[in-house]
Structure 1
Amino acid sequence: MAIERQTYKGRAYQEIRQMLVDGELPPGAKVVVRVLSERLALSPTPIKSALAGLERDGFLVAVPHRGYFVPEVAVEDMREIYELREALDGIAARNAAGAPDAAEFVSGTLRPLYEEQRRLLDERGGEGYSAVDVAFHRAIWHASGNARLAQFLDNLGGQLRFASGSSSRLPGRIPEALDEHEAIMAAVAAGDSDLAERLSRAHVRRAAEAFGGVVTRDSPLPYRPAH
Structure 2
Amino acid sequence: MPRVTIERRTYKEQAYREIRRMIVEGDLTPGTKVVVRMLSERLRLSPTPIKAALAGLERDGFLTTFAHRGYFVPEVAVRDMREIYELREALDGIAARKAAALPGVETFVQGTLQPLYDEQRRLLEEEDGAGYSDVDIEFHRAIWHVADNVRLLQFMDNLGGQLRFGSGSSSQVPGRIRHALGEHAAIMAAIAEGRPADAERLSREHVRHAAEAFEDSSAPADPAGARVPKRRSAEH
Normalized against structure 1, the TM-score is what? 0.91
Seen in structure 2, the aligned counterparts of structure 1 residues 28 and 67 have a Cα distance that, compared at 3 Å, is same
Q: Deviations over 1:109-136 (max 9, x none)?
A: 1112111211111013534322221121
Report the equivalent of 2:196: 193
Deviation for aligned residue 1:94: 0.2
Matched to 1:116, the amino acid is E
Contact 1:93–1:141 (CA<8 Å) still a contact in 2?
Answer: yes
Corresponding position of 2:16: 13
> Deviations 1:168-221 (Å, cap 9, x if unpaired)?
11000011000000010011011110110010011111111111111116679x
Which one of the candidate residues 170, 176, 179 is aligned to 2:179? 176
Establish whether residue 87 from structure 1 lines up as the match of residue 90 from structure 2: yes
How do residues 1-227 of structure 1 correspond to structure 2 at under 5 angstroms?
1-162=4-165, 165-216=168-219
Residue 162 of structure 1 and its aligned partner are, at CA, apart by 4.0
- In the alignment, the residues of structure 2 paired with residue 69 and residue 163 of structure 1 have an alpha-carbon distance, to the nearest angstrom, of 14
- The 3 A distance-change label for structure 1 pair 126 and 2 is closer
- AA aligned to 1:170 is V
Query: Do the aligned partners of residues 28 and 101 (structure 1) sit closer, same or farther apart at CA in structure 2, a change above 3 Å counting?
Result: farther
Identity of aligned residues (%): 70
The CA RMSD over aligned residues, in Å, is 1.7
1:64-121 per-position Cα deviation (integer Å, ceiling 9, x unaligned): 1111111111101111111111111100000011111311111111112111211111
**Which AA in structure 1 matches 2:143?**
I
What is the distance in 2 between the residues matched to 1:188 and 1:125? 27
Q: Larger RCO: Structure 1 or Structure 2 (Cα < 8 Å, ≥ 6 residues apart)?
A: 1
* Partner AA of 2:149 in structure 1: N
Distance 2:165 2:199 in 1: 25
Q: Is the 8 A contact 2:61 2:162 kept in 1?
A: no
Paired AA for residue 142 in structure 2: A
How many pairs are equivalent? 220
**Distance in 1 between the 2:153 and 2:102 partners?**
15
With normalisation by structure 2, the TM-score equals 0.88
Look at both structures and tell me which one has the larger radius of gyration over its CA atoms.
2
Counterpart of 2:75 in structure 1: which amino acid?
Answer: E
Q: Could you say if the C-alpha distance between residues 90 and 157 of structure 1 is closer, same or farther in structure 2, counting changes exceeding 3 Å?
A: closer
Partner amino acid, structure 2, of 1:98: A
